[in-house]
Structures are given as structure tokens and as C-alpha cells.
Amino acid sequence: MIELYGISNCETVKKARAWLQAHGLAHRFHDFKKEGLDPACLDVWLAALGWEALLNRRGTTWRQLDDATRAGITDAASARALMLARPSVIRRPVVQWADASYSVGFDELDWQRRL
């Protein structure tokens, strides 16, 4: 089963979910803004993908942070703390594929290769 993690009102997540549905792929969606973010799950993502890939520096949440907070994100530990405090700073969607591999973001070509 494909596990898709994100926020339901995120446009990229909407595109990703629509793509999965259009391709008839069963998946479970976890809205980490509504359902929370399990620290152990975040640790798995960090190990699999790296903190820099997970940190969304282009999003509204990042831009709303003060300069000191942004400057303080320099490693996995500081990024993890921010992601747990403000899950919407995580790049979306995070996907756990049926083969237990992970990806972040929506890249149609990459997703087609994974199937």
C-alpha cells in the first residue's frame, strides 16, 4: 500500500492524489496537519531522504519565520525540531512506496518509474 503524507489543502498534494487515483493506485493519505506528525515517522524520513530534501524553503511557512529562526536551521537536529513544531514546513508530499522506499515532492516521471 502506498502511504502519502502531506496537507490536504496543498496544491502539490492535490495533484499527487489525483495522479494516484487516475492511475488506479490504492493509497492511504495522512494529513499531518490534522492527524499530527509522529516523531518516529519523521526520523525515518530524515534517514531516508535527508533534512535538506524535506525542508521546504520555498513555502509560506518558511518565509513567515523570522530571520534568526531560519538562520538557526543548520543541521538535521535543528531541522527536525522545526518540522515537529511546524509540520507545514515539510516539503510535500512525502510518499512511502509499496517497496518501502521514500520520495518527496511530486515528479510524474519518477512516480511512473516506481510503478
Cβ neighbours around 87 below 10 Å, total:
20
* 41 belongs to the catalytic site: no
Q: Do the Cβ atoms of 46 and 54 come closer than 8 Å? A: yes
Give the separation between CA 68 and CA 72, rounded to whole angstroms: 6
Catalytic residue among 4, 5, 10, 27: 10
Identify residue 90 by its one-letter amino acid code.
I
Catalytic residue positions, numbered: 10
